[in-house]
Amino acid sequence: MSTVSTHVFHRHLQRTPPTAVSGKGVYLTDAQGKTYIDASGGAAVSCLGHGHPDVLAAMHAQIDKLAYAHTSFFTTEVAEGLADKLIQSAPQGMSHVYFVSGGSEAMEATLKMARQYFVEIGQPQRQHFIARKQSYHGNTLGALAIGGNQWRREPFAPILMPVTHVSPCYPYREQQAGETPEKYGQRLALELEQAILAKGADQVMAFIAETVGGATAGVLAPVPGYFKAVREVCDRYGVLLILDEVMCGMGRTGTLHACEQEGVVPDLLAVAKGLGGGYQPIGAVLAQARIVDAMREGSGFFQHGHTYLGHAVACAAALAVQQVFERDNLMAQVRARGDFLQNLMHSAWDEHPHVGDIRGRGLFWGIELVQDRGLKTPFDPARRLHARIKQEAMARGLMVYPMGGTVDGQYGDHVLLAPPFIASETELTLVIDRLSSAMDAAI
């Protein structure tokens, strides 16, 4: 039997990717028997690697009992149990969990929660979102509208809702000479405040940001104090703070939620990817009590709902992932392996003429590639360096997540690393060896 169908609508229509047939630990194997070390968790998804026995056992046990019950008729023990678990470990003030099937859906839900909250509390004139350039929040139309990835937005731009985009926190490119990180963060918070005032302080629903930026600019961690200053600005004008931790959350940066490291609590927090670890499609929005209370005391329901929300097998997988995190003390392991990986990368590339910046946290790292290190000039986007790196990496049995810059090529090419939390030091060393070779071949 042929493993390649001519009928799948693949994301790339001019080539068919290899056929993955099995996965174990940090490795995937294709139909030709070739193995690939998964250094990006796909797209920062497979935090426990592949074939984790505890997650598989939990899924089997749930399937044997009940696979699915529609949430307009029933709740399930496993959905209730997962929500309890997520709230126990959530930042203070988070009281409820709304389940979805993935990251874009989570972000769509946050936008609708924000809007409905203001309708319920008698501020329906608030109709505007502010988000950041160089961001990504998903591919559905609402999520795409708040996102700042020009390449992904471009064909759809005329039909997207209008959103104000302010600067991301991007020290390598945008922190000025002589400006401390703290001052830079304050300048960005002031820019947000000015954007709120320009729109009208009582017109804005929410400011939306990835706590640590991921899929657009190659891992952008905030400077100290940035999110605290942003939280203050939001509070000053009654604007909600929505943090998107679809990619950077669920332990990826070394704490369960990346915002823990910033000392801020958002009003709404979106998680996905690592929540189900790739074993099932699941995402969630964690909400502060006042948002939920406003809906409960108002119309009594959230005007939303997808068919697969709270899917029992997905909840079982996610609950098992949380239990493995705790039992195996994986947050500490992410921090330790992250330090190891960081040192490896610095030894490999500190003198590399085309590695402009190495940045990240935990097991979430971005490498920014430049034509000229001194001038930080990006490569010509027409070279499609990121795509060539991916090809060279796959040829060497390595999965990484490279991305190009914006449409105008302003920010150039990046490689994103997000290996499974269970990756050993030997495996991480192999990743950097193969990536070095792939980058040099592509450049």
Q: For the chain, how many residues are written?
A: 443
160 touching ligand PLP, by CB under 6 A: no
247 touching ligand PLP, by CB under 6 A: yes
151 touching ligand PLP, by CB under 6 A: no
311 touching ligand PLP, by CB under 6 A: no
Distance of CA 253 to the CA centre of its chain: 11
* Cα–Cα distance measured from residue 358 to residue 301, given in angstroms and rounded to the nearest whole number: 45
Q: What minimum distance in Å lies between the beta carbon of 65 and ligand PLP? A: 27
210 touching ligand PLP, by CB under 6 A: yes
Q: Identify which range of 27-35, 85-93, 239-247, 347-355 contacts ligand PLP by CB under 6 A.
A: 239-247
Task: Using the CB atoms, write b or e for 221-233: b if 16+ within 10 Å.
Answer: bbbebbbebbbeb
* Sequence-ordered list of residues with C-beta below 8 angstroms from that of 124, at least 6 positions apart, any chain: 118
* Cα–Cα distance measured from residue 241 to residue 427, given in angstroms and rounded to the nearest whole number: 38
103 touching ligand PLP, by CB under 6 A: yes
Of the candidate residues 146, 163, 208, 215, the single one contacting ligand PLP (CB under 6 A):
215
Q: How many CB atoms lie within 10 A of CB 341?
A: 25
Structure tokens at 312: 């029992």
Q: Which is nearer to ligand PLP, 148 or 349 (CB)?
A: 148
For ligand PLP, the binding residues in 267-296 under the rule CB under 6 A are: 272
Q: What minimum distance in Å lies between the beta carbon of 44 and ligand PLP? A: 7
- CA 221 vs CA 82, 253, 361: distances in Å: 28, 10, 7
Q: What minimum distance in Å lies between the beta carbon of 143 and ligand PLP? A: 6
DSSP β-ladder status, 27-30 and 35-38: antiparallel
Confirm if 234 and 240 have CB atoms less than 8 A apart.
yes
Q: What minimum distance in Å lies between the beta carbon of 141 and ligand PLP? A: 12
Q: Identify which range of 67-75, 102-110, 380-388, 389-397 contacts ligand PLP by CB under 6 A.
A: 102-110
Q: Which is nearer to ligand PLP, 46 or 371 (CB)?
A: 46
Ramachandran angles phi, psi of 352, nearest 5°: -70, 130
Q: Which of 189, 194, 257, 253 is nearest to 225 (CA)?
A: 189
* Contact string 105-144 vs ligand PLP (x = CB under 6 A): --x----------------------------xxx------
Q: What minimum distance in Å lies between the beta carbon of 440 and ligand PLP? A: 27
Q: What minimum distance in Å lies between the beta carbon of 329 and ligand PLP? A: 26
Q: Which is nearer to ligand PLP, 254 or 276 (CB)?
A: 276
360 touching ligand PLP, by CB under 6 A: no
249 touching ligand PLP, by CB under 6 A: no
Q: Which is nearer to ligand PLP, 142 or 338 (CB)?
A: 142
Q: Which is nearer to ligand PLP, 38 or 120 (CB)?
A: 38
Cβ burial of 153 (10 Å; 0-12, 13-18, 19+) is: middle
102 touching ligand PLP, by CB under 6 A: yes
Q: Which is nearer to ligand PLP, 11 or 15 (CB)?
A: 11
Q: What minimum distance in Å lies between the beta carbon of 147 and ligand PLP? A: 8
Q: What minimum distance in Å lies between the beta carbon of 138 and ligand PLP? A: 4
Q: Identify which range of 152-160, 208-216, 344-352, 406-414 contacts ligand PLP by CB under 6 A.
A: 208-216
Of the candidate residues 23, 49, 171, 214, the single one contacting ligand PLP (CB under 6 A):
214
Q: What minimum distance in Å lies between the beta carbon of 216 and ligand PLP? A: 8
Q: How many CB atoms lie within 10 A of CB 249?
A: 30
Q: Which is nearer to ligand PLP, 247 or 443 (CB)?
A: 247
Q: Which is nearer to ligand PLP, 76 or 104 (CB)?
A: 104
Binding site for ligand PLP (CB under 6 A): 43, 102-104, 107, 136-138, 210, 214-215, 244, 246-247, 272
